[in-house]
Structure formats: structure tokens, C-alpha cells
Amino acid sequence: MLALDLLVNGLIFGLFYALMAVGLAMIFGVLKVVNFAHGEFYMIGSYAYVLIALKLGIPPWLALPLAALTGGALGWLVERLLMRPLYAGHGSWSSSKDEYAVVVTFGLSLLLVNLVDKIVGPYPFRGPVLIETSRFSIGPVMLNGQKLIAAGVSLCLLIGLALFIKRSLWGRQIQAVAQNRLGASLAGIDATRTTSMVFVISGMMAALAGALLAPLINPGPDVGAFPAIKSYVIVVLGGMGSIWGGMAAALILGVCESFFAVYVSYAYRDAFGLMLLILVLLVRPQGMFGEKGREL
């Protein structure tokens, strides 16, 4: 019975991880660079949610989409101001894009953490809950209302995103740009606009993850660090840039962590993902769901 409890709670954490990691996977998919400021999208989302709800007195259910919009706006700005020189125009940085992206996104991460630290303060806030309930059990599974609501919203968003990517014209264009950026341009797909859209979606998803968890984690300026590291682990485990692989890897990591924390060591719970990453890479360097080899 304990196993069922661990499985359900692990899947719930996996959904939160997926919400965070899927944006990182999408950015890697379309630009083939790692966004080291992804954790700060999460941090900005949690702060936006808390400050909008507490300081402006706006109901939490309305603060949630506003936090997502804040993350989306940040994503749009980052792409427009910092990432576009990487690939747009004839004098772009594309020949050294990896170095450029590492320096720029790492710098942005430090900037955002320190800006929040100076402007809002270094002390953690506690976000308002979406629903006031105490812990309750369904059979052997112990849950709390906020966590369940957050998991439900995450699940709906991930299903919505999956349908959007698979079925919509824009989703097809994102897949096309991720699979062959040059080919997409030749087919008449505006890869620049598509990349911008991916950053907006990525910012919204990470910000929503931060907002949904704000009542559970008491966000401070460096709150994005751990979720970001887990997202990198998930993206590599899932197969770099694979959205579906990332979602599956997030759920697997959530469940494995949950069991590891109880049966092995709670103290090393956060290190477990890194251990799992090393083990998987030893056996499958392309990740659990990645393609073998690379296209030339």
C-alpha cells in the first residue's frame, strides 16, 4: 500500500518536473542550445504569483494565469533581445552559438537572481493556496489539496501542449524547425517567429510550475536552481530536445525519487536524479528516448 502512495505522489512530482522541463526541451529542440536561465523563469513565475496575489490582492486563481503571462513575456524578451543575435541575420553568432548561449543565459540567470534579491529581498515568501484543505487520503494514498490541484492543472497543461504540438499548424511548425531549421526556412516556415513562440511557451510553462508550487516551497531568489538542475537531468534522460521523451523522463524521475527517498535515503533524494543520469548515460548515451547517433 505504501508503494501505491509513493507511486501516486511520485507521479505528481513528475508532472511538476515535466511542466518545468518541457520548455527546456523545446528550446533545445529549436535552437540546439541550453538555456541556463530556465530556473529563473520558474523563480519569476513563483514571485509573480505571490506578489500579484499578496501585494495586489488579486485572487490566486487569477494570479496564476497572470504569473504565466509574466513568464511568457520574460521568455519573449529573452528571445527577442538575447537569443535572436544567435541565429537571425547574415551577421549572426551561429558559428559560435554554444559559447554565446552559455555565457548569455548564465549571465541572465545571475542577473535575475540578484535583481530579485535586491528589489524584493532575500527572504522567502509563502504563496497563497489555491484551495484551503488539509491533508486527506484516498485509500492508502495521502494527498493535500494544493498538491492535487497543482498536479491537475499541470496534467491539463501538458495534455494541451501535447495536442498543440501534434495537431495544430503552429505545433507542426515547431516540430519542423526542431527537426531541420534550414529545411523549415526553405519550406516557407518562419523559424524566427517559431523560436519566439517556443520561448514564450517555455517561459509560461516554467512560470506556471513556479506559481503552482509557490504555496508548497516558499520561494526565495534562488528557488529556481534545483528545479533547473532536475530539468537538465530530465532533458538529457529524455533524449536532448525530445518533448515526449522529456515528459516521460520527468514522470519516471518523479516516481524513482519518491521510492528512493523512502527505501534508500531521504537526504540524498535530490542527488538521486544525477546518479540515475550517470547510470543511464553509461548504458544509453543518447538518453532513454533519444535517437541513436546524430544527423549530419
Partner 1 sequence: MSLLRTEGLQKHFGGISAVDDCSIAVEPGEILGLIGPNGSGKTSLLNILSGFLAPDAGSVWLGDEAVTGMTPVQLANRGLLRMFQMTRVFTRISAVDNMLTAGLARGLSEAEAERRCETLLDELTLSQVRYLDAGALSGGQKKLLEFGMCFIAPPKIALLDEPFAAVHPVMREAMAGFIRRRHGEGQTFILVSHDMPIIVDLCPRSVCMNAGRVIAQGATRTVLESPAVIEAYLGSSVGSSAHV
Contact predicate 196/203, CB 8 Å: no
Q: Which CB sits closer to partner 1, 144 or 192?
A: 192
Side-chain-side CA neighbours of 107 within 13 Å: the count stands at 9
Query: Could you tell me how far CA 24 lies from the centroid of its own chain?
Result: 6
Strands (E), 26-184: 136-138, 141-143
CB of 41 to partner 1, least distance (A): 26
Contact partners, residue 45, CB within 8 Å, separation at least 6: 67, 68, 70, 71, 206, 207, 208, 209, 210, 211
Q: Which CB sits closer to partner 1, 99 or 190?
A: 190
Cβ burial of 269 (10 Å; 0-12, 13-18, 19+) is: middle
CB of 80 to partner 1, least distance (A): 16
Q: Which CB sits closer to partner 1, 181 or 230?
A: 181
Q: Which CB sits closer to partner 1, 26 or 255?
A: 26
CB of 178 to partner 1, least distance (A): 9
Contact partners, residue 173, CB within 8 Å, separation at least 6: 184, 189, 190, 194
Q: CA angle at residue 120 from 114 to 122, to 5 degrees?
A: 65
CB of 137 to partner 1, least distance (A): 43
Q: Which CB sits closer to partner 1, 132 or 295?
A: 295
In whole angstroms, what is the distance from residue 28 CA to residue 63 CA?
29
Amino acid at 263: Y
CB of 292 to partner 1, least distance (A): 12
Q: Which CB sits closer to partner 1, 62 or 187?
A: 187
Q: Which CB sits closer to partner 1, 144 or 175?
A: 175
CB of 181 to partner 1, least distance (A): 9
Contact predicate 24/35, CB 8 Å: yes
Contact predicate 231/21, CB 8 Å: yes
What residues line the site for partner 1 (CB under 8 A)? 90, 169, 172-173, 175-176, 179-180, 182-192, 295
CB of 182 to partner 1, least distance (A): 6
